[in-house]
Amino acid sequence: MSNILEHMARVIQDASMVLSKTREETGCKMIGIFHPVVPEELIYAAGLRPVRLFPYIDDFITEGDAHLQTYLCSNVRAVWDQVIKGKYSYFDGAIIPRSCEAVTFLYQTWKRHNPYPFIDYINVPWKRSENAIDFFAKELGRIKNDLEGFTGKEISEDSLHNAIRVYNRNRGLLRKVCELKKAESPIISSTETLKVVMSSFILDKEEHSGLMEQLLAELSKRSQGPRAKVRLLVTGGCVTDARLWEMIEDCGACVVADDVNNGSRSVFTAVNDTMEGPLTALARRYVMVPCSFNTANADRFTYISEMVMESNVHGVIFAINRNCEAEKFDYPNLDLKIREKFDLPTLHIETDYLTDMAPLRTRVEAFIEMLNAKGG
Amino acid sequence: MTEKTKRERPAFNKIISAAIESHYNNIQTNRPMGYALMAPNPLVEIAYAAGIQPAFPENYAAVSAVKHLSRKYCETAEAHNYAPDICSYCRNNLGYVYDSKENPPFGGLGRPDLLLLTSSACTHYFKWWDALHEIYKIPMIYINTPRVMEPQAMPDYYLAYAIREIEAAIIQVEDIAGTKITHEKLSQAVTLSGEVVDYWHKLLDLQKAEPCPVNLTDISNALFVLIALVGKQEGVDVIKTVYDETKQRVTDGIGIFTKEEEKHRLMWINIPFWFNLGLFGYFEKRGCVFPLSDYTQYIWGTTKMDGAKPIESLARKALEGELNSSLDDQIEKMLVDIKEYHIDGIIAHSNRSCRVLSVGIPDAVKVIQKELNLPSLVLDGDHTDERVYSDANIMNRIEAFLEMLG
């Protein structure tokens, strides 16, 4: 395995340790964010480090349930549990978006118990009209003011353009790696790609981009991998557990495309700040992120359809977390449309934080065997 | 099993029942008809101003639960792959949509011509109406508004965004209805809505009296007017009757109990168990009345509707209310109201189907206990899916709580 891929995998495995060390060495204040809908560029431009929140540690939820009931998404509950247990001492605050119910209502709990000096809530519109983009740009202006109040420093227009450049570069490089999965015989596995994307949530963006350039150079010299006989698309929300992706590959399939928060939804499209101000440009890009909570079923189907066609997909796995109401609501119609339009087999599995993979494996194995029997 | 009360209900319940029946008759006959989200929805007044008949799937889900049909409808929705962790209002309705519809309550909910949605509640509603949009392939008018976490410090651009959304929605409604919504028509609908809201506030104030004039089941019944009949003269007439009778009861010292019999005044947090409204009868048997609930107090009727500023009033309606606010804001209100309504105990329903009203309940009851030294009981359940309701467990816990209250 490449040293860079090993390093990125370790960053995910030891995210908490890596962040703690970074905080200690650089002194850079860290702001946690949820979902790919928070414009990180704003935080970066403020001289802070935006870090994507997901459960960094495999630890049973023991204290979080006192505030957040068990019928909420366990990924969110696990993050909150680890926050209040003081496991993320390196954080200085969080920006929580209006997204799924669990995250939206986590904000209120977070604010009430206030574990860090900074907390903010950002109203992500549930529409993509010009009116919505105009509103979102103003909302970003408010967040910018709040961040300036926190740091005591103005966020200049230049620093915003620079942040956009840094993030566009990183997403562009990530998209290049994701593109490699589409090949008939991909030179990078889907688990490796997942870790490449997720390590960008933790590492400094410029550092990560430097690693990405080295990785792409390395990969260009890699010999072709085995032919992806069974090519799958995985769709869901926060499918952050790498064990699931490893298990799918272990069963003989390759995830050649994904529609998850910690995958394609995080890397799609660049911010175009050449035609309008940086806040409007950020608003225009981020309002388009195709998360389930703010995206109509028809738009989600368009997004998935493009990937199905581009990546020559043989089957679709819906990997949806327990109590992820938005994804579960979209599933029946998306499933029907995928079957009807593409005549593709689908499988629905319910995932959960620290879930037992064995029962899921039995179902995934059967699905892949069925696809193999069909000739992939 | 809970016992049924034999107490005489206020006469206005019959008038409200007639209004509900009339509403469901109108759904069958009036066209165009649109499914409207119940959460404070400014499209209700706009619909009435345009001659569009609104219908309310959430209300129908509650009706179905009262009639014990929710199991059947939820199971039908689940057979169509809508998972049990989706809100049971949604599953009830989607189950009804896919059901064979033999003898449905009130003759059914009818097939809509359009969909009227706001984002002032939760993602479930957006996804629910989107699912209906996929099923019926009819126009959907959708007002998106931000969630207002700090109502006292709401930025101006929140209101400006909501106003532009309302203006765009009016143009769409005019197009569908084929009629112009003049300023006069809209102003009249908003004025009538405001009159209902004003009566509602006065009605809720009467609940502070000792003895409490009517119970939560009566107020919940009257809530139908505040949701479904805002913008119509009929709504004003019905709510005035409700108010007049309740006021007379206060003047005459008539309550659910006599002042001596009224042992405990409790607050109910969250939506009731619609399939077991008899539970309130059980509480009555034990001398307990519910003068206060966040469900009837803070969700609807929180906006001053001004006929002179109809669009701004409608925009504010979309922005205000408990479903679009923060729990901290509600806790502040509860701490004041609990004292004003002379409450001596809290029953909170941790409702797995309604996360907007349930997340934070553990914190809320802790704050109330700490600030006001009031006992509280949290019951796990669901507003319409009775399959997850354990009567024996719930009754055991209630029994122990009432024994503790004394």
- B384 assigned to some structural domain: yes
- B336 assigned to some structural domain: yes
Instruction: Give the pLDDT of residue B4.
Output: 45
- B67 assigned to some structural domain: yes
Instruction: Give the pLDDT of residue A374.
Output: 83
pLDDT of A159 strictly over 90: yes
Mean predicted confidence (pLDDT) in A320-329? 96
Q: What type of residue sits at position A316?
A: V
- B170 assigned to some structural domain: yes
pLDDT of B1 strictly over 50: no
pLDDT of A67 strictly over 70: yes
Question: Which tens digit of pLDDT belongs to each residue from A282-308?
Answer: 999 999 999 999 999 999 999 999 999
pLDDT of B6 strictly over 70: no
- B2 assigned to some structural domain: no
Instruction: Give the pLDDT of residue A1.
Output: 67
**Angle (nearest 5°) at CA B219 between B215 and B224:** 155
CB-based contacts of A357: which residues, under 8 Å, 6+ apart? A243, A244, A247
pLDDT of B83 strictly over 70: yes
ipTM comes to 0.95
- B5 assigned to some structural domain: no
Q: Minimal Cα distance from A124: which residue of B? A: B146
What pLDDT band is residue A2 in, cutting at 50, 70 and 90? confident
Instruction: Give the pLDDT of residue B7.
Output: 67
Count structural domains, chain B: 1
Q: What percentage of residues in chain B have a pLDDT greater than 70?
A: 98
For the record, the structure tokens of B277 come out as 């409204």
Alpha-carbon span A90 to A185, nearest angstrom: 41
Instruction: Give the pLDDT of residue A359.
Output: 96
What pLDDT band is residue A265 in, cutting at 50, 70 and 90? very high
- B3 assigned to some structural domain: no
Q: What percentage of residues in chain B have a pLDDT greater than 90?
A: 95
CB contact under 8 A, A329 and B82: yes
Chain B residues interacting with chain A (CB cutoff of 8 angstroms): 80-83, 85-87, 90, 119, 122-124, 126-128, 130-131, 133-134, 142, 144, 146-147, 149, 155, 157-158, 161, 164-165, 168, 326-328, 350, 352, 355-356, 358-363
CB nearest to B362's CB, from A67, A332, A333: A67
Residue whose token pair is 């915003």: A160
pLDDT of A106 strictly over 70: yes
- B1 assigned to some structural domain: no
Alpha-carbon span B36 to B296, nearest angstrom: 19
SS (H, E, C) B43-93: HHHHHHHCCCEEECHHHHHHHHHHCCCHHHHHHHHHHCCCCCCCCHHHHHH
Q: What percentage of residues in chain A have a pLDDT greater than 90?
A: 95
What pLDDT band is residue B3 in, cutting at 50, 70 and 90? very low
**Average pLDDT score, chain A:** 96
Per-window interface: A 96-125 vs B, CB < 8 A:
98-102, 104-105, 107-109, 111-112, 121, 123, 125
Quote the domain boundaries for residue B348. Answer: 12-405
Question: Which tens digit of pLDDT belongs to each residue from B21-43?
Answer: 999 999 999 999 999 999 999 99
